[in-house]
Amino acid sequence: MDAPDFEKKFQEIIDREIKIEPKDWMPEAYRKTNLRQISQHAHSEIVGMLPEGNWISRAPSLKRKAILIAKVQDEAGHGLYLYCAAETLGFDRAQMIDDLHSGKAKYSSIFNYPTLTWADMGAIGWLVDGAAILNQVMLCRTSYGPYARAMVRICKEESFHQRQGFESLLVLSKGTAEQKAMCQDAINRWWWPSLMMFGPKDSESTNSDQSIKWKIKRKTNDELRQQFVNMIAEQVKLLGMTLPDPDLKWNEEKKQYNFGEINWEEFWNVVKGNGPCNKQRLDARRKAHENGAWVREAAMAYAKKAAAKKKPVAA
Ligand SMILES: [Fe+2]
Ligand SMILES: [Fe+2]
């Protein structure tokens, strides 16, 4: 078989909904797209720990502290499953981490926004994890086996993340005037960046068509964004709060919400590394990596010793 035959066969396997596994033949572009997407996703989970980690020591009660620690720890676990999935595509983890630290690899821009008040913890859970879930539920059926399987487990934890965020905001929304104002302010600041999480418009997204054909993605950016708006526009009513969009309006004909235009200039600016916290996030990651050098060295020394012990002694 020459290359076009392989590609035809590959597409047939995808169309029959059979998962692609690490040792299967795959077009180089399929491997690269998955590698980029999975490693970016892993980086996002790890960098995503930073804005919330900042609030662990300032959580208002023991209960909230325990919930937040559990959530941040879950995100670390998500990062680890995803680095493992990315490694099955033949790329070294140390290299992936170097690419993150050098700024070569991207992660979700949402984590470049600052967390200014306690209500941001609720807004992140509800809106940011909420947006992530829509994307991730779709990815449970992605065509690359190791990615799909990692997502099944991750999604179970993500739904807890969203619930705890909403519940935390619900408590604030029933509190004092100050707490209500803090809740509304957090929603105002996180709403638009959350919509940006779905990526550029379909008309400007370069990878979309091929990713859908290969069933890496099953819904487009605009479809997922619309689904998110429809969901959140209803949930916000339960909080007695509003979304900061004067154009948000139910469209009876289309049975969906109309919403205003995203500030795409801000979107591209943050993607390019000029967000409010880009530098701070990468500095924190680099520092953590340097501080962890002794752990990596100790693990290597231990592995070496263990391997030497196993070796049969020469007669
Ligand atoms: Fe996560
Ligand atoms: Fe999460």
Q: Is pLDDT of 222 > 80?
A: yes
Q: Is pLDDT of 210 > 90?
A: no
Distance 78 CA to ligand 1 centre (A): 5
**Residue 148 tokens, joined:** 């799909």
Interatomic CA distance for residues 80 and 92, integer angstroms: 13
Distance 125 CA to ligand 2 centre (A): 7
pLDDT confidence bin for 273, thresholds 50/70/90: confident
Mean pLDDT of 233-261: 97
Q: Which ligand is nearest to the CA of 76?
A: 1
Distance 73 CA to ligand 2 centre (A): 10
pLDDT confidence bin for 313, thresholds 50/70/90: low
pLDDT tens, 154-188? 999 999 999 999 999 999 999 999 999 999 999 99
- Count of CB atoms situated within 10 Å of the CB of 98: 13
Mean pLDDT of 108-136: 96
Instruction: Find, among 230, 231, 257, 233, the residue nearest to 244 by Cα.
Output: 233
User: Residues of the chain with pLDDT > 70: what percent?
Assistant: 97
Q: Which ligand is nearest to the CA of 153?
A: 1
pLDDT tens, 49-80? 999 999 999 999 999 999 999 999 999 999 99
Distance 295 CA to ligand 2 centre (A): 26
DSSP for 112-155, written as a single string: GS---STHHHHHIIIIIHHHHHHHHHHHTT-SBHHHHHHHHHHH
pLDDT confidence bin for 1, thresholds 50/70/90: low
Q: Between these two residues, 314 and 152, which has the higher pLDDT value?
A: 152
Distance 45 CA to ligand 1 centre (A): 5
Q: Is pLDDT of 312 > 90?
A: no
Mean pLDDT of 25-36: 95
Q: Look at residue 2 in the predicted model and tell me its pLDDT.
A: 63
Q: Look at residue 311 in the predicted model and tell me its pLDDT.
A: 74
Distance 275 CA to ligand 2 centre (A): 21
On whether the CB atoms of residues 54 and 118 are closer than 8 A, the answer is: no
Query: What's the pTM?
Result: 0.92
Q: Which ligand is nearest to the CA of 108?
A: 1
Instruction: Report residues near ion ligand 2: CB below 5 Å.
Output: 129, 158, 161
pLDDT confidence bin for 238, thresholds 50/70/90: very high
User: Residues of the chain with pLDDT > 90: what percent?
Assistant: 88
pLDDT confidence bin for 29, thresholds 50/70/90: very high
On whether the CB atoms of residues 103 and 282 are closer than 8 A, the answer is: yes
Distance 150 CA to ligand 2 centre (A): 14
Distance 44 CA to ligand 2 centre (A): 10
Distance 111 CA to ligand 2 centre (A): 12
